[in-house]
Amino acid sequence: MTRKYFGTDGIRGTVGQSPITPDFVLRLAHAVGRVLKKSQSRPTVLIGKDTRISGYMLESALESGFNSAGVDVVLLGPLPTPGVAYLTRAQRASLGVVISASHNAYPDNGIKFFSAQGTKLDDEWELAVEAVLEEAPVWAASAELGKARRLNDAPGRYIEFCKSTFANDLTLRDMKLVIDAAHGAAYQVAPNVFHELGAEVTSIGCAPDGLNINKGFGATHPAALVAAVTAQKADYGIALDGDADRLQLVDASGRLFNGDELLYLMVAERIARGDKPVGVVGTLMTNKAVEVALRGQGIEFVRAKVGDRYVLEELDKRGWLLGGEGSGHLLVLDRHTTGDGIVSALQVLQACVRSGKTVAQLLADLTLFPQVLINVRLAPGQDWKNNEGLVRETQRTEAELGDGGRVLIRASGTEPLVRVMVEARDAKQAEACAKRLAATLESAQQR
């Protein structure tokens, strides 16, 4: 079966348009509540959100939907997505719910769920919810309706958790940091975590007004952080996205480090202290240089589909701990059950403090392959996968690159586009190959 509403990270869309409307969200919560009640007599769910203005409306709809199914609700207020995952586990709740559209602008919003263990839920669970959505509601009797309460110290509890993932014998004292929370869910939490670990902290992107989330700040707009790090003469800048599950890092020179580099750094730090990982999981988009470097050190590298949920599934299947995406979604499963921008940043800074080296020095032996990405607009009904000309050109390009590069052609999950990506040790070769493949695809659509 295919999912009608759930995407790769919950349900997401434009507020006021299906399915992000209060009536649907109420029905969704009711359906989820009924699924929970099949295995628990009195479930409790936690609800957190980012700083979008629509969060108030959707929070109320979720609360009503759960209560109508006989499910109790604990409201957390604005809190990072990984904070909701942590508290769901710590509070022994049945389910965690996050109202967020992550790095999207404020007109969008979404709903995603965490299991009682603080992990993403699988496709089978989502299909079970969608099946109940097609049924008529079954309202709980008045005496069996759920109740709601607020957990007022949720941010403080999550701050303490984040600090606990940093080595007890180390401190961030003498380190100057700029923290950019994208005017999002971590605006209260992130500056305090780093400050309480000893760093001198300057905050930007920490003044949400309901409409400015991810606007000009955060992991998807790192220019503001680069400028602030330079102006403050800081050692590092930490940029999170709207729900704080992804990380971008800037050093004192203004160099931006992406998720692929930071993942490799965390692996290298463990090797240095005698805790060599068996394997690491990236995605189809992970830079080939990371794969080459890891395998050169005898560490297995596996690629999952794009999306942190697929990285997590692969890690769970293999019993490994470290994985991530170039976008900054990083998984450190012996520290947290899900991707966490703050926890990931602490792991990177911990490596710097322990080694006495900068991030650039720790990554001196890793040089990313030049990567060229070209988007080709997809004609309606176009069967590009079976196009003979594209197949031949892809085979020719792969033979030309050999072990020194790779080709990835995939459809966008959100737009009518085909993404043509080529990596090679030589930037000019990568660009020439990508342009050739894109031209082949475009000419095939014109026939």
Does one domain contain both 37 and 144?
Answer: yes
Evaluate if residue 207 carries a pLDDT over 60.
Answer: yes
Q: For the beta carbon of residue 335, count every other beta carbon within 10 angstroms.
A: 18
The encoded tokens of residue 364 equal 């001196």
CA distances, 110 to each of 149, 155, 192 (Å): 22, 21, 27
In a domain, 297, yes or no: yes
Q: Which pLDDT belongs to residue 366?
A: 95
Q: For residue 35, what are the β-bridge partners?
A: none
Does one domain contain both 210 and 276?
Answer: no
Does one domain contain both 204 and 245?
Answer: yes
In a domain, 3, yes or no: no
pTM tops 0.85, yes or no: yes
Mean pLDDT for 188-206 is: 98
Does one domain contain both 251 and 275?
Answer: no
Q: For residue 177, what are the β-bridge partners?
A: 201, 236
Domain end, chosen from 152, 170, 205, is at: 152
Q: Which pLDDT belongs to residue 309?
A: 86
Does one domain contain both 241 and 274?
Answer: no
How does pLDDT run across 52-70, given as a tens digit for each residue?
999 999 999 999 999 999 9
Confidence at 1, pLDDT banded by 50, 70, 90: low
CA distance 192 to 156: 9
> Number of helices (H) and strands (E), helices first, in the chain?
14, 18
With CA atoms as reference, report the closest residue to 287 among 264, 308, 307, 265: 264
What residues are labeled active site?
Answer: 102
Domain end, chosen from 362, 396, 421, is at: 362
Helices (DSSP H) in 69-187: which residue ranges?
81-90, 123-133, 154-164
Q: DSSP assignment, residue 16?
A: T
The number of distinct structural domains making up the chain is 4
By the 8 A CB rule, do 27 and 121 touch?
A: no
Does one domain contain both 40 and 141?
Answer: yes
In a domain, 2, yes or no: no
CA distance 256 to 305: 25
Token pair 């800081």 is found at 234
How does pLDDT run across 75-103, given as a tens digit for each residue?
999 999 999 999 999 999 999 999 999 99
Length of the chain: 447
How does pLDDT run across 223-248, given as a tens digit for each residue?
999 999 999 999 999 999 999 999 99
* Residue percentage of the chain with pLDDT more than 70: 98
In a domain, 17, yes or no: yes
Does one domain contain both 161 and 101?
Answer: no
Q: Got the DSSP string for 209-248?
A: -SS-TTSS-STT-THHHHHHHHHHT-SEEEEE-TTS--EE
CA distances, 186 to each of 183, 317, 410 (Å): 8, 31, 33
Report the mean per-residue pLDDT for the chain: 95
CA distances, 117 to each of 19, 41, 87, 95 (Å): 27, 18, 10, 8
By the 8 A CB rule, do 19 and 11 touch?
A: yes
Mean pLDDT for 271-300 is: 95
Residue 184 CA, chain-centre distance (Å), reads: 14
Mean pLDDT for 216-222 is: 96
In a domain, 135, yes or no: yes
Residue 10 region by backbone torsions, left for phi larger than 0, else alpha for psi between -120 and 50, else beta: left
Does one domain contain both 351 and 399?
Answer: no
Mean pLDDT for 257-286 is: 96
Does one domain contain both 116 and 16?
Answer: yes
CA distance 426 to 62: 52
CATH label of the domain that carries residue 431: 3.30.310.50
Confidence at 447, pLDDT banded by 50, 70, 90: low
CA distance 328 to 261: 9
Does one domain contain both 176 and 94?
Answer: no
In a domain, 202, yes or no: yes
Domain end, chosen from 255, 276, 301, is at: 255
Sheet holding 108-114, edge to edge: 11-14, 108-114, 95-99, 44-49, 72-78, 148-150
By the 8 A CB rule, do 26 and 64 touch?
A: yes
By the 8 A CB rule, do 341 and 349 touch?
A: no
How does pLDDT run across 351-360, given as a tens digit for each residue?
999 999 999 9
In a domain, 1, yes or no: no
Does one domain contain both 147 and 73?
Answer: yes
CA distance 141 to 143: 6
Q: Which long-range contacts (CB under 8 A, 24 or more apart) does 256-259 make?
A: 256/222, 256/226, 257/359, 257/363, 258/326, 258/327, 258/328, 259/324, 259/325, 259/326, 259/327, 259/328, 259/329, 259/330
| Structural domain span for residue 103 | 11-152
The encoded tokens of residue 374 equal 């070209």
Q: Amino acid identity of 307?
A: G
CB within 8 Å of 306: residues ≥ 6 apart: 8, 283, 284, 285, 325, 410, 413
CB within 8 Å of 438: residues ≥ 6 apart: 374, 376, 420
How does pLDDT run across 330-386, given as a tens digit for each residue?
999 999 999 999 999 999 999 999 999 999 999 999 999 999 999 998 777 778 888
How does pLDDT run across 158-178, given as a tens digit for each residue?
999 999 999 999 999 999 999
Does one domain contain both 335 and 413?
Answer: no
Q: Which pLDDT belongs to residue 301?
A: 97
Q: For residue 114, what are the β-bridge partners?
A: 96, 120
Evaluate if residue 446 carries a pLDDT over 80.
Answer: no
In a domain, 5, yes or no: no
CATH label of the domain that carries residue 198: 3.40.120.10
